[in-house]
Structure 1
Amino acid sequence: MNKKTAILVFANSSKEELLHKPIIGGEKLFTELTKKTIAVVENSGIPYFISTEKDQHGKTFGERFVNAIQTTYDLGFENIITIGNDTPHLRKHHLLESARQLENNKFVLGPSVDGGFYLMGLHKSQFSLSTFLKLPWQSKNLAKSISLLIKTAKIEVAELEVLQDIDNPEDLKSICRLSFTFSNALRAIIYHICHSPIEIPKYTEILKYNNHLPSFYNKGSPLCAV
């Protein structure tokens, strides 16, 4: 395998995730998801870096994510595979296939159900800091916009299967309807959240929630502690 390929795990701490993804029981969920994601990454044998809110630089999600990619390239890597911690069905074969496609000079995209992506793989020659900053981050048109950008540059795009990531409670319900092919601990947490009675918030809390609720669309997905 190309030793110049690295995985960038763009994943905040559980407490930070809850500020943007208000899921009841979410702290245990995101802690277990991160644990599961790191296990998959380590099993791939590809060098990796984890970026949390402590390492990120920028005011917006797009700035923090794009800056993390640039930071990883600055370490000397030629190919980067970026992922988050919110895709339970991510497997080692997704990472290995991405690395293989990168060696064939392709741009790799793993689309998520919401229109974002759970994985993006690219060579440094395919990356432009200024161009990527202009992409519609955290919108349902993100994956489509990236594909169009890359295809316009006459670079072949290799798309992985579409997977469900977790950005809100509805996504978790969708996960519950899929086959549980994860650890017993993660399966138990997801099942418990999906089947727990939901408390009806007070009217004032509903107003506060609606006025301050951030966009749930992923980057997909998905910064660099060295």
Structure 2
Amino acid sequence: MNDRTQIVVLAKRPRPGHVKTRLTPPYTPEEAADLAAAALADTLDAVAATPAAARVLAADAGPDDIGPDDLPPGFELVRQRGGGLDERLAWAFHDVHARRPLPVVLVGMDTPQLTAGLLTRAAAALEEHDAVFGPAADGGFWLLGLRRPDPALLLGVPMSRPDTGAAQLRRLSGLSVAMLPALIDVDDAADAREVAALAPYTRFAATLARFGTRPPAPLDVPPGDPHDAPPGVALAARLGAGAAR
């Protein structure tokens, strides 16, 4: 059990027309926002189930959008700052580490198939390595963990490109880096269908099924499934103004 690592979720408000725009078409902006909200809720659940020194939501929300009382139990709030994604990532690492000088693992909200087991593995890797890296199938990365975060490790890395992951790994040159399995980021409809099929018991898969694309595995949640008591649904609904159902 690792309880010396902080886990951060970098989240974008699931607002129609502002999130998951590559899902439109075939999905409407409202449906894309619903899928984003479901993915966020699944991600928060995985983090909630992982032993950690702190669980943090790094939100692009203002004070009128979300407050500490809106967070799931056990989560803290850090507001994103900076312009590009490289800046928002760099300062999220910096601001969380400034609160507690402990290792930081950061994930986004595009991999609803994320599990507590993967997060626990990432945290354990930072006991022996300087960094841990989870590559994404599209050439980016779905997780980055740093034992001693430094904004210089991220600032200026080109984001949202097929070579983003390779560029980020070059920036970590000289550090000991542990690698995690590659995961699929949900960017377009094909990604959404594949991820839902891989993780059929997620809220993301159930939401996609409501829109007419069903994963091959049953969607009925078995008794005792950890999603019976989800900590992330209320927050996703708050951020998305009802996007999560």
1:177-208: CA deviations, max 9, x gaps? x434423x432212344639xxxxxxxxxxxx
CA offset at residue 113 of structure 1? 0.7
SS of 1:164's equivalent in the other structure is coil
Q: Could you tell me which amino acid in structure 2 is paired with residue 187 of structure 1?
A: A
Is the 1:173–1:194 contact (alpha carbons within 8 Å) kept by the matching residues of 2? no
| Corresponding position of 2:121 | 97
Percent identity, aligned pairs only, is: 23
Match of 1:179 among 198, 212, 225: 198
Q: Which moved more, 1:165-174 or 1:101-110?
A: 165-174
SS of 2:49's equivalent in the other structure is helix
Match of 1:52 among 22, 46, 59: 59
| Corresponding position of 1:72 | 96
Which runs of structure 1 show a deviation greater than 6 angstroms over 4 or more consecutive aligned residues?
A: none
Match of 1:160 among 165, 176, 180: 180
Match of 1:88 among 112, 121, 132: 112
Structure 2 unaligned segments of length 5 or more: list them: 62-78, 215-245
TM-score, normalised on structure 1?
Answer: 0.76
SS of 2:100's equivalent in the other structure is coil
CA offset at residue 39 of structure 1? 1.0
* Structure-2 change in CA distance of 1:195 and 1:62 (3 Å): same
| Corresponding position of 1:195 | 213
| Corresponding position of 1:213 | none
Is the 2:129–2:177 contact (alpha carbons within 8 Å) kept by the matching residues of 1? no
* Structure-2 change in CA distance of 1:148 and 1:60 (3 Å): closer
CA distance in structure 1 between the partners assigned to 2:49 and 2:36 by the alignment: 20
CA offset at residue 131 of structure 1? 4.2
| Corresponding position of 2:140 | 116
More helix by share: 1
Is the 1:88–1:182 contact (alpha carbons within 8 Å) kept by the matching residues of 2? no
| Corresponding position of 1:43 | 49
Q: How many residues align?
A: 189
* Structure-2 change in CA distance of 1:172 and 1:132 (3 Å): same
| Corresponding position of 1:19 | 18
CA offset at residue 148 of structure 1? 2.4
TM-score, normalised on structure 2?
Answer: 0.70
1:63-102: CA deviations, max 9, x gaps? 1221111101110232000001110221111111111110
| Corresponding position of 2:165 | 143
SS of 2:6's equivalent in the other structure is strand
Structure 1 unaligned segments of length 5 or more: list them: 197-226
CA offset at residue 156 of structure 1? 2.3
| Corresponding position of 1:215 | none
SS of 2:186's equivalent in the other structure is coil
Is the 2:90–2:154 contact (alpha carbons within 8 Å) kept by the matching residues of 1? yes
SS of 2:112's equivalent in the other structure is coil
1:14-39: CA deviations, max 9, x gaps? 117x4142232112211111111111
SS of 1:19's equivalent in the other structure is coil
CA distance in structure 1 between the partners assigned to 2:187 and 2:207 by the alignment: 16
Is the 1:116–1:139 contact (alpha carbons within 8 Å) kept by the matching residues of 2? yes
